[in-house]
Amino acid sequence: MMHRDITDRSRFHQPALRPIAMPRSATIPVGSWPRRMPAAIAAGYCGEPTVEAFLKRVGKEYPQPRVKEGRRQLWLRDDLDRAIAPDMVPGDLAEDL
C-alpha cells in the first residue's frame, strides 16, 4: 500500500528574513589616538555611542572626512579637535604637514 504525503507544505513556509542593520559600536583604541581615523574610531574619539550617530552629525557638528578614497574615509584628529573645542585648538596643524 502506498502512502501519500497529504500535508500542505505552504502552511510551513517561512518568509525570507532580511538582514537587520545593527548599529556599529564606536571604537576606542588602546594606547593613543591615531592622527587619521576611520569612522568607528572618530566616533569613539568624539564620544558618540555609535558610528551612525557620528555620521549623522558629520557636516553639521563634525567636519567632513579629510581623506575620501572610494569607501575609505578618514578624519584628522586636528579637525575633530577643532569641532569639539574650537577655542582650545590652534590653527590648522594638518596644513603644516
Q: What is the pLDDT of residues 14-60, one digit of tens each?
A: 666 677 777 788 878 888 899 999 999 999 999 999 999 999 999 99
- Residue 11 or residue 23, greater confidence: 23
Please check whether residue 26 is in contact with residue 51, taking contact to mean a CB–CB distance below 8 angstroms.
yes
Structure confidence at residue 24 (pLDDT): 81
Round to the nearest angstrom and report the end-to-end CA distance of the chain.
87
Q: What pLDDT, on the 0 to 100 scale, is given for residue 55? A: 97
Residue 21, domain member (yes or no)? no
Domain containing 30: what range?
26-88
Query: E strand or H helix at 56, and its extent?
Result: helix 51-57
How many domains does the chain divide into?
1
C-alpha cell of 63?
Answer: 567636519
Model-level pTM? 0.66
* Partners of 75 in beta bridges: 37
How far, in Å, CA of 77 to CA of 46, rounded?
Answer: 10
The whole-number pLDDT of residue 76 equals 97
Instruction: Say if 58 falls within a structural domain.
Output: yes
DSSP structural state of residue 10: G
